[in-house]
C-alpha cells in the first residue's frame, strides 16, 4: 500500500524529511477497524514528532492523526462497525499513523463521520474536536449548558483547536467567549465561528481585555505559546481561576499560580488511547456527538486549506505551513 513517512529527523525543507513509501497491508487486531483512508489533516503534533522522534533503525515511521475513510475489514471482537461504514477518528500516537492507504484504529476511538460533510471537511475535525471537548468539559470542568456569568479566554483562537473550541463553547455552554488573534483575517475567522470578542495577543492581554470592559477572566484555554504569555495569563485570570494548557513548554514554574489559587489543567488527547484507560470509548462517543452537531447545523468544519492529494510532496508543503504558525483552521489532504 502507499504511505508517507520518514526515516530520519530532518528540516521540512529537505526532500527526505517526508518520503513516499510502499508498505505491507496491515492486518486488524481483535478490536481494530481497517480503514481505507480518503482524507487526512495535519496537526502540530505531526511536525513535532517528525522533528524529534527518531524511527527505529532501518524503519520508516508513518505520521498522521486525523483520518476519514471507509471500513474495509474488522477484527474478531468488533461490535460497533462493519465493512462499508464511513468513519472518522484521530487514532493513537502509540501506533502507526494514518498517512497511508489502509490504517488500523481501535473501534472505541472512532465514530461514523458527519453525513453532511465531504471527506476533506470531516478530516479537519477529529483530533482538534477531541482536544477542545476534553479541555472544556473534562479539564476546565465547565458543565454542559453551564458557565453563565463566566468568561473563557482562548489564546490562539484561529488555530485548529481554537476554531472548534470557540464553537463548542458557544453552542454547548453559556460562557462569554473571548478569543485572541493578531491579524485581520484571523480576527474575522474567530468572530465568524462565534467568539463574542477578539483581542490581540501581540499586545498586553490584561490591557486588551480591559479595553473591551473585562477586568479579569474566569477560565483560560492556552493553546499556543503558553511560555510566552504565561505571566500575562496569570495576570488576566481571576482569583481561583482555571488555566488549561495543551502546548509544550521547556519548563513550567507553578509558583506564580499560588497567590491567586489558580488551578492548572493539562490536556493531552492521546492519553486515553495510549494508556487504554477504562473510559477510552468516551472519545468515540464524543466524536459521534460532534458528528450529530455538525449534521444538525450547530457546528461547522474548520477546514482552512486544501493541499491536494496525499503524497510526500504535498505533505511537506503542509508541514511547512503548519510550522510557520500562520495556519487558520486546519490543513487537509485528500485521496492517494
Beta strands in 185-236 (DSSP E): 197-199, 217-222
What pTM was computed for the model? 0.96
The pLDDT assigned to 6 comes to: 97
Residue 44 region, left (φ>0) first, then alpha (ψ -120 to 50), else beta?
alpha
pLDDT in tens, the chain (336 residues): 999 999 999 999 999 999 999 999 999 999 999 999 999 999 999 999 999 999 988 899 999 999 999 999 999 999 999 999 999 999 999 999 999 999 999 999 999 999 999 999 999 999 999 999 999 999 999 999 999 999 999 999 999 999 999 999 999 999 999 999 999 999 999 999 999 999 999 899 999 999 999 999 999 999 999 999 999 999 999 999 999 999 988 888 999 999 999 999 999 999 999 999 999 999 999 999 999 999 999 999 999 999 999 999 999 999 999 999 888 999 999 999
The pLDDT assigned to 56 comes to: 86
The pLDDT assigned to 237 comes to: 98
- Our measurement of the distance from residue 197's CA atom to the centroid of its chain's CA atoms, rounded to an integer in Å, reads 22
Q: What is the DSSP string of 306-326?
A: E--SSSHHHHHHHHHHHHTT-
For residues 41 and 318, is the Cβ–Cβ distance under 8 A?
no
Element (H, E) at 68: strand 67-74
The pLDDT assigned to 327 comes to: 86
**For 224-270, how does the pLDDT look when each residue is reduced to its tens digit (9 = 90+)?**
999 999 999 999 999 999 999 999 888 889 999 999 999 999 999 99
- How far apart CA 11 and CA 14 sit, in angstroms, is 6
Q: What phi, psi does 62 have (nearest 5°)? A: -100, 130
**For 47-74, how does the pLDDT look when each residue is reduced to its tens digit (9 = 90+)?**
999 999 999 888 999 999 999 999 999 9
The pLDDT assigned to 250 comes to: 86
- Our measurement of the distance from residue 55's CA atom to the centroid of its chain's CA atoms, rounded to an integer in Å, reads 23
The pLDDT assigned to 176 comes to: 98
N-terminal to C-terminal alpha carbon distance within the chain:
10
Grid cell 477497524 is found at 33
Amino acid at each position: 500500500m502507499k504511505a508517507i513517512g520518514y526515516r530520519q529527523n530532518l528540516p521540512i525543507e529537505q526532500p527526505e524529511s517526508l518520503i513516499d513509501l510502499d508498505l505491507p497491508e496491515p492486518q486488524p487486531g481483535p478490536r481494530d477497524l481497517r480503514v481505507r483512508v480518503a482524507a487526512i489533516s495535519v496537526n502540530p503534533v505531526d511536525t513535532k514528532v517528525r522533528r524529534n522522534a527518531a524511527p527505529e533503525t532501518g524503519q520508516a515511521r508513518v505520521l498522521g492523526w486525523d483520518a476519514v475513510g471507509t471500513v474495509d475489514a474488522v477484527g474478531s471482537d468488533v461490535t460497533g462497525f462493519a465493512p462499508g461504514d464511513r468513519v472518522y477518528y484521530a487514532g493513537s500516537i502509540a501506533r502507526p499513523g494514518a498517512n497511508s492507504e489502509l490504517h488500523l484504529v481501535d473501534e472505541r476511538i472512532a465514530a461514523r463521520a458527519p453525513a453532511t460533510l465531504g471527506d476533506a471537511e470531516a478530516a479537519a475535525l477529529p483530533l482538534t474536536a477531541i482536544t477542545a471537548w476534553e479541555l472544556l468539559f473534562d479539564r476546565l470542568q465547565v458543565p454542559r449548558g453551564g458557565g453563565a456569568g463566566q468568561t473563557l479566554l482562548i489564546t490562539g483562537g484561529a488555530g485548529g483547536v481554537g476554531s472548534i473550541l470557540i464553537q463548542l463553547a458557544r453552542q454547548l455552554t453559556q460562557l462569554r467567549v473571548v478569543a485572541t488573534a493578531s491579524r485581520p483575517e484571523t480576527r474575522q475567522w474567530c468572530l465568524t465561528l462565534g467568539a463574542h470578542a477578539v483581542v490581540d495577543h501581540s499586545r498586553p492581554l490584561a490591557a486588551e481585555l480591559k479595553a473591551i470592559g473585562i477586568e479579569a477572566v474566569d477560565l483560560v484555554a492556552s493553546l499556543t505559546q503558553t511560555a510566552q504569555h504565561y505571566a500575562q495569563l496569570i495576570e488576566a485570570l481571576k482569583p481561583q481561576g482555571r488555566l488549561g494548557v495543551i502546548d509544550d513548554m521547556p519548563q513550567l514554574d507553578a509558583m506564580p499560580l499560588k497567590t491567586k489559587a489558580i488551578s492548572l489543567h493539562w490536556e493531552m488527547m492521546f492519553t486515553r488511547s495510549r494508556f487504554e484507560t477504562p473510559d477510552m470509548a468516551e472519545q468515540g462517543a464524543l466524536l459521534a456527538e460532534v458528528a450529530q452537531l455538525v449534521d444538525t447545523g450547530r457546528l461547522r468544519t474548520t477546514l482552512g486549506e486544501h493541499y491536494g492529494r496525499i503524497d510526500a510532496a504535498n505533505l511537506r508543503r503542509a508541514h511547512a505551513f503548519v510550522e510557520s504558525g500562520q495556519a487558520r483552521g486546519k490543513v487537509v489532504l485528500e485521496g492517494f
